[in-house]
Structure 1
Amino acid sequence: MFKLSKKNTKSSIVEESKSTDPIDKIHEIDVKEELEHTTDIESAASSLPPDIEELPRVVREVVDFDDDANTPLLTFRYFLLSIIFIPPGAFIDTFTSFRTTSAAYSIFFVQLASHWLGMWLAKVLPDKKIGFGKFKFSLNPGPWSIKETVLVTITASSGATGSLATNCIALAEVYYDTTISPAVCIFFMWAIVFLGYSYSGISRNFLINDPQFIWPQALMQTTLFQNQKKSHGSMQVFFVVLIGVCFWTFLPEYVFPMTSSLALLCWCAPENYTANFIGSGLGGMGFLNISLDWSNITSSIMLSPYWVHVVQFLAFILGAWILIPATKWGNLGNFQYGLMSNNLFMSNGTKYPTTALLTPDHQLNMTAYKQLGPVHLGTQRAWNIFFDYAAFVSGFVWAVLFGYKSLKESVIKFYAAKLKSKSNTSSQYTDRLNKIQSKYADVPLWWFLILFICTFIILIVTSTTNALPIPWWTVFVAMAIGAVIVTPLSWLYAISNFQLAVGTFNEVIYGYMIEHMKYKVPYSVMIYSSISGDAFYRAQYESQSLKIGHYNHIPPRVTFFCQIFGEIVGVPINYAALKWVLKTKKDYLNGTKVDKLHQWTGQTLLSYHSNVVQYVTLGPSRLFENYRVLPYGFLVGLIAPIIFYSLHRLFPNSKLKFRLRNTTIFFSTMSTFYGNISTGYFSQFVGATVTMFYFYRYRHNIWKKYNYLLGAAFDTGFNLSILLIFIIFSAGKTIDMPNWWGNNDKSVERCFALVEAD
């Protein structure tokens, strides 16, 4: 890795501060603060080669600039390890998506295990060629390389994940007793994923090759790759932390669940309802509630810039600590029932019998609707919807106002490069990384077009034949919306590691499109949302993997292939895991049984069902008649970014840093449902203050060496523990933890008055 010179430190810092890179702005460290507080000033950049100085500082500190273009890549060992690591991840991510809180199957575990197994295979496999004719390959082409580790990891990050399509499939079976054909399910799951991958071709040249877009998650993974290759000492730290977290996680997740939500106010007054409601993180406000469960904290505290955490915590304070008590005790909302519930209610506060609204063919029974009356939402649920609308519009406006200049420069450079070179557009940039990548052929546009055509055919055939009960013409709308949003919202993710949820907007659009149709299947809205949503979500993940390949000098075409291969293997496992959940946890998902730890609550599925009733069974018009303020969320999302942009232009040097007060992130956090689990947010902010503020600013050498490494270790240790808990206590016969003081049968938080009131 390039070593930074120690000469002319002060002047080099001043020069660096003039950069317009978003990453320099994001971390909010100006020249004066850097000179006064950063402990690694002596290692700051000076006399850097121009092609390295073009890169953001955080990238220079992580990425290795050495490359061997002759390294074997798609080896037999790669395929073997990919097939080993994809199934457990695809299964775990699918079944944990139905839990209230969870951390995804750790891709860092794949990085570590595949590297060590790869080196072992390089020792034990014979150097023998097998196959026939020209189609021969070596079982062991030489020493295991870090590039092979990168490829296995990219493949797993594609295939060893959950699928957005499982939501509509589960909804159809749990609430509408409809089982969709397995073949249709699997091909639909493939189609929406590959649609997103094809859409990544829209913005890849703007967001991948341009060095100003750092993609924080890609940097974290690259840090671990570099440590695996070079630093044995760091890997020892990694494994020590991994093992410690793995053993610790058995406490909050199984043995000592009280540690997952330390409700201090409940300890002081366990029989006082008000104190319980304020302090509980499992059904209350979560005020000063501390969580020691990594699933409630996650490695985001080591990934997202500190300004993101500040914005999110302010939104949490407003939503959970101000608006909830104002509604509960201050009559903020007109409907006083179900404050923190995703259910739909009648005017007297009882749950709305949504099944009574449907005829045998799942259409709206107007007679029953007139008898039952309008559907009511819990107040928190109502403002969640309002801010969902605001966040979606704000995402576009913010990207246009604050990202237009950088995106415009990238577009100009891209088309200028196209005139010079038809094979590789990375030549549009002159930094060291792009120079390295320029020797590898880029992914041609026709690859993305073929992928798009295949997915288009699948979606049109399944919709026109009614294999999926969605009007065929709405598929075109879903695709169009996905194409429009992919670049601006990927821009936000590339600089902040914040992914905007777009589901609610998709659902209201679909509701309006089919509102006056005579025949409409309620859960079809989730099919539509899956198509339009994955066109955006999967495009982001595809781009992120391309950025990982960019940082680690992987040919783009190889990265592209690895992602396709990963999904081909992973999707059938997603479907198998979904069927397992529906077979073993259906009673929890439909509310027949109650999970005392508030994990198997079916909260997400219940929220989707509420959306189905709102946007399809009743239609948006009836919803907005009863909640006239909701559409104003779109207006708020339009105006708020303009206000902050105007303030930024008027006061560009203000200490309030208006450019960092991102309204999209604020509104999106306000739309998060806190009612069931409000613990963890305070702990996240405390953790982020330690990692992304204190250590990044005042102990930067330590941060640089350990931050991403420890984040990977925590994620890996947690997920390994979750896997062990599942295998030991749930895979065969379910073994429940005996009740004791730290696992109270009535309330694990010891908020007894709150439980009795419920």
Structure 2
Amino acid sequence: MSQTAIATVGIIPSTTHANDTKAGSFDEKGSVLDFEKATGSIEDEDDDGIVNIKGGQNFSHSNGDDDDPAYAALPRIVRELCDFEDDPTIPVLTWRFFVLSGAFTALGAWLTQMGFFRTTYIPYSIYFVQITSLYVGKFMAATLPSKKIGFGKYSFDLNPGPFTIKEHVIIVLAANTVATNNLGDYVLAPLAVFYQKPMNGWLAILFMWSAVFVEFSLATLAKTFLIDNPDTGKLQMRVFWYGILIFFLWEFLPEYIFPFTSSLAFLCWVTDDPTAKFLGSGLGGAGLLNITLDWSNIGSSLVYYPYWSQVNVFATFVLGAWILVPIGALGGAWQNDLYPMQTQDLYMTNGSEYPTVELMNADFTLNEALFAEIGAPKMSTQLRWGYFFSYTAYLSAFVSLCLFQGPMLWKTLKSVCSGNRAYNDKLTQLMEPYPKVPIWWNIALFIIPSAVLIALGAAGKLYLPLYTVFIALGFGALIVVPMLYIYAVSGYQVPGYFNEWFYGGSRHPVGSRSYRTISGQCWYEACSMLNDMKLGHYVCLKFTITSSETDPSLFKFHVPPRATIFAQVWGILVGVPVNYATILWIVNTKGNYLDGSAIDPNNQWTGQGVISLNNQGIAFGLKLFADPMYNILPYGFILGAGLPIAFYLLHRKWPRARFDLWNVPIFATTMENFYGFLSNFVLAWFILGSINHLYIKKYKYKFWKKYAYIAGAAADTGFNLNMLLLFIAFSAVKVTPAPHWWGNNPDSVERCFPASS
């Protein structure tokens, strides 16, 4: 029997080499070579863009011939993980694929869609799918009889033979397709929670299918730019399974029995001073020096996020949550005497709640008379600067892309236009024997769902004018490549609020959510789609074969492009109905938390995402920014255009200072985050990330490469399984809250009580 693990390489150009862009950095060509000339002692550069000097770290052997351009064009991590062999004759889309992928896809769709309504959540662990599907697939191959089912060409073999690695990979591809929540919830959740007008079930599913398939077709558009360019054994499996067990058991404490462990507010324990309590609270405060022991607040991203990216996030978090939030909330700056610093609600000029319901007519258009009387709503400071920095992030993404990656993209574009391949790495060569995906597949995947969206818009089901559907589709196609590239090199997704400036004018608030789903947000899921395509193209394996009877041909691993597309389409078809069913269940069982009529003591089911979406819909849909306090917001675009230029010029002047790693999109995106309910996670995340990158990865590289991803995946999986059991045991049939005690205080689970009199 063999034990396998799949290591996926992120969406990085396969053209990366020693002096080009590494995974997770904006390296300008030549900058590393300049450093090498200056020091004379460079040994290698890791995938974080950090140079490792001789004596600091030992590297594993890289596969392939260094003198062969087809191998040399690949990043070091790819050559370490991949064996460059393939057998195009191995079966892929077997009956086992449909059964196993269907089951894992449905589970993932439920877990990830549920996470949309929580304040924090752990993404569906694809490593859990990889490991579990391997064992189940081998069990099916060993026990099921070889028997034909069906008639003629519509028949299949119940047991087509040994469970192959290509079946394994394609199952993971399908499940990973729905490992993010369906963005149709941007429309469906506010309709159900705030307007009590849930969309018809079949129409809702059609809308979600169509939105995803449009995103999918746009991902295939970006594929040319971001993909076509260029020892696992029993001990690791024990680490994985023991890790799952440990985190599965541990999560009962912060999630149910002992929520005190989810937010250790040290400042609250040493003083009754109200200022210190606000600063120290991670559930409604600034979270200063607060540590969480809840893995749902941390997650395995600390393992694979580039360290330069983590530094950007933490530095920005310190500025925003630990400095600016206290200045506003405690110092009374920015009109916080009237409008609380950390809230997503809307207010009148006198500080009372804004009458959003009364402001809308029966047809959800703007009540002009009342609006003239009460004026535009007032937003909290943090909500305002969230919009400001979202605009900064948006434009800075384009500017950074042009400055730091423009030459590479231009080279790729010229190769596409000329019909010649700009790069010819070894992995791309291995895909040559497979039939290409016909262009009409991509066209159909765009035209058919677009027609459904147009029909839904014409029927008034999306609450927006028909012409805006066409604008949304066009704008989504325009921005997909630059936004995906930012995600490719940093792991960060830039917000798309800019698109909503094209929408407005006394319309139903949910209409702006529909517009956002189709245009500005569609590329979010395109990121996931492209990751899956990368998995089929770049999937890499290392084997420890422990049985001489194992057929080595079973471990040729590349997936045919057509099978990759099919698996993703299949995953979408299976996952979307589960997404919708999950939305209905959450609204029916947690609706009182989501609409603000009740408070979740753990600050997890806060509904802040749905509340934020609804308020944004009101603001954009009814054009409620007509107030001088919002005049500064458009200047975010100017900042987004200027800062990358400044850092680019500084990088050209002093390349060794690495100003290319001072990432404006990440800075602005982190500043845009809302910390009003939960600010206890970043410090723990950064501490563990620093230990991971600066010690374990740097000085124990072989150990890190062998266990880091496995351990992170086990922790994520343990949390997901714990959430599943908590749902079944305490929520599915009857809601059973945990008993109150010292570690689960009804007034403050983190025991950050109001100051005593």
Answer whether TM exceeds 0.5 for this pair.
yes
Aligned to 2:53: 35
Match in the other structure for 2:317: 316
User: Would you identify which runs of 4 or more consecutive aligned residues in structure 1 move more than 4 Å?
Assistant: 24-30, 41-47
Aligned to 2:522: 535
Contact 2:344 2:615 (C-alpha < 8 Å) held by counterparts: yes
Q: What aligned pairs does 1:515-664 form with structure 2 within 5 A after superposition? A: 515=505, 520-552=507-539, 553-620=558-625, 622-623=626-627, 625-654=628-657, 657-664=658-665
Q: Does the CA contact (< 8 Å) of 1:107 and 1:157 recur in 2? A: yes
What is the SS of the residue equivalent to 2:655?
Answer: coil
What is the aligned partner in structure 2 of residue 387 from structure 1? 389
User: Which shows bigger deviation, 405-414 or 487-496?
Assistant: 405-414
Contact 1:85-1:160 within 8 A present in 2 as well:
no
CA distance in structure 2 between the aligned counterparts of 1:17 and 1:204, rounded to whole angstroms: 20
Deviation at 1:63, TM superposition (A): 2.2
Matched AA of 1:157:
N
Name the CA distance, whole Å, in 1 between partners of 2:378 and 2:393: 23
SS of 1:34's equivalent in the other structure is strand
**Distance in 2, Cα, partners of 1:34 & 1:58:** 14
Q: Counterpart in 2 of 1:506?
A: 499
Q: Within 1, Cα distance between the matches of 2:380 and 2:303?
A: 34
2:484, 2:25 → 1: CA distance?
18
CA contact (8 A) 1:195 1:534 kept: no
1:489 aligns with 2:483: yes
Deviates more, 1:368-377 or 1:545-554: 368-377
Decide whether aligned partners of structure 1 residues 67 and 49 sit closer, same or farther in structure 2, where only a CA change above 3 A counts.
farther
Aligned residue in 1 for 2:682: 681
What pairs with 1:133-212 in structure 2 (closer than 5 Å)? 133-159=152-178, 161-211=180-230
Aligned partner of residue 455 in structure 1, secondary structure? helix
Partners of 2:64 and 2:461 in 1: CA distance = 63
Corresponding residue for 1:218?
A: none
Is the 1:26–1:307 contact (alpha carbons within 8 Å) kept by the matching residues of 2? no
- Write the deviation string for residues 289-334 of structure 1: whole angstroms up to 9, x where unpaired: 1111111111110111000001111110111011111212334313
Q: Is 1:118 aligned with 2:121? A: no
Shift of 1:45: 8.0
The residue type equivalent to 2:653 in the other structure is L
Residue aligning to 2:233:
231
Residue 547 of structure 2: aligned partner: none
In the alignment, is the contact (CA less than 8 A) between 1:17 and 1:24 conserved in 2? no
TM-fit CA distance, 1:680? 0.4
Q: In the alignment, which residue of structure 2 is the partner of 1:48?
A: 66
Distance 1:120 1:613, change over 3 A: same
Structure 2, gaps ≥5 residues long: 3-15, 37-41, 44-50, 540-557
Distance (Å, rounded) in 1 between the aligned partners of 2:565 and 2:115: 27
The corresponding residue for 2:731 is 730
Please tell me the root mean square deviation across aligned C-alpha atoms, in Å: 2.2
Corresponding residue number in structure 2 for 1:9: none
> Is 1:129 aligned with 2:148?
yes
Q: Percent identity?
A: 40
1:401 correspondence with 2:442: no
Distance 1:98 1:141, change over 3 A: same
- Closer/same/farther in 2, CA of residues 139 and 479 from structure 1, 3 Å limit: same
Q: Mind listing any 5+ residue stretches in structure 1 that lack a counterpart?
A: 2-15, 212-226, 420-426
Residues 374/411 of structure 1: CA separation in 2 closer, same or farther (3 Å cut): closer
Q: CA deviation at 1:458?
A: 0.3
Instruction: State the distance in 2 between where 1:49 and 1:141 align.
Output: 41
* Equivalent residues of 2:62, 2:79 under 8 A apart: no
> Quick one: which amino acid aligns to residue 48 of structure 1?
D
Q: CA deviation at 1:373?
A: 3.8
The 1:738–1:471 alpha-carbon spacing in structure 2 relative to 1, beyond 3 Å, is same
C-alpha displacement of 1:43? 4.4
Cα distance change on mapping 1:728 and 1:177 into 2, 3 Å: closer
Distance 1:455 1:39 in 2: 51
Query: SS where residue 636 of structure 2 aligns?
Result: helix
Shift of 1:368: 2.4
Deviation of the 1:720 alpha carbon? 1.1
> What's 1:251 paired with?
253
Match of 2:349 in 1: 347
1:228-287 deviations in Å (ceiling 9; x for gaps): xx5222111111112111111111111111111111111112x32111100010000000
Amino acid at match of 1:199: L
Q: Secondary structure at the match of 1:134?
A: helix
Residue 543 of structure 2: aligned partner = none
Contact 1:394–1:640 (8 Å) recurs in 2: yes
Note if contact 2:26-2:405 (Cα within 8 Å) is conserved in structure 1. Answer: no
1:638 deviates by 0.9
Distance 1:64 1:107 in 2: 21
Which residue of 435, 438, 441 corresponds with 2:435?
441
Amino acid at match of 2:503: Y
Further displaced range: 33-42 or 702-711: 33-42
User: Normalized against structure 1, the TM-score is what?
Assistant: 0.89
1:183 maps to amino acid: W
Corresponding residue SS for 1:490 = helix
| Deviation sequence 1:533-572 (CA, Å, 0-9, x none) | 4531222222110100012311111000001011111111
**Is 1:96 aligned to residue 111 of structure 2?**
no
- Pairing partner for 2:98 from 69, 75, 79: 79
Query: Per the alignment, do residues 306 and 162 of structure 1 end up closer, same or farther by CA in structure 2, a change over 3 Å counting?
Result: same
Q: Which amino acid aligns with 2:429?
A: K
Against the structure 1 CA distance between its residues 412 and 363, is the aligned structure 2 distance closer, same or farther, given a 3 Å change threshold? closer
1:295-374 paired onto structure 2 within 5 Å: 295-336=296-337, 337-374=339-376
Residues 152/24 of structure 1: CA separation in 2 closer, same or farther (3 Å cut): closer
Contact 1:341 1:675 in 2 (8 A): yes
Check if 1:667 corresponds to 2:661.
no
Amino acid at match of 1:398: S
Q: Is the 8 A contact 1:374 1:626 kept in 2?
A: no
* CA displacement, residues 383-432 of structure 1 (integer Å, 9 cap, x when unaligned): 1110011101111111111111222233334445x35xxxxxxx653322
Deviation at 1:178, TM superposition (A): 1.9
Deviation, structure 1 residue 349? 2.3
Q: Distance in 2 between matches of 1:533 and 1:153?
A: 28
Deviates more, 1:28-37 or 1:386-395: 28-37
Decide which structure has greater helix share.
1
Map Cα deviations across residues 198-255 of structure 1 (whole Å, 9 max, x no partner).
Answer: 11122201101222xxxxxxxxxxxxxxx6xx52221111111121111111111111
- 2:155 partner SS: strand
Aligned residue among 476, 493, 513 for 2:470? 476
Q: Equivalent residue for 1:23?
A: 23
* Shift in Å, 1:619: 3.8
For the pair 1:701 / 2:702, whether they are aligned, the reply is yes
Q: What residue identity is the alignment partner of 2:494? A: L
User: Contact between 1:201 and 1:445, CA under 8 Å: does it hold in 2?
Assistant: no
Between 1:77-86 and 1:99-108, the stretch displaced more is: 99-108
Listed one character per residue, the Cα deviations across residues 176-204 of structure 1 (whole Å, up to 9, x for unaligned) are 22232212111110100000111112220
How far apart are 1:26 and its partner, in Å? 6.4
Are the counterparts in 1 of residues 462 and 510 from structure 2 also a CA contact under 8 Å?
no
Contact kept? 2:193, 2:594, Cα under 8 Å: yes
Q: Do the aligned residues in 1 keep the contact of 2:26 with 2:660 (CA within 8 Å)?
A: no
More displaced, 349-358 or 739-748?
349-358
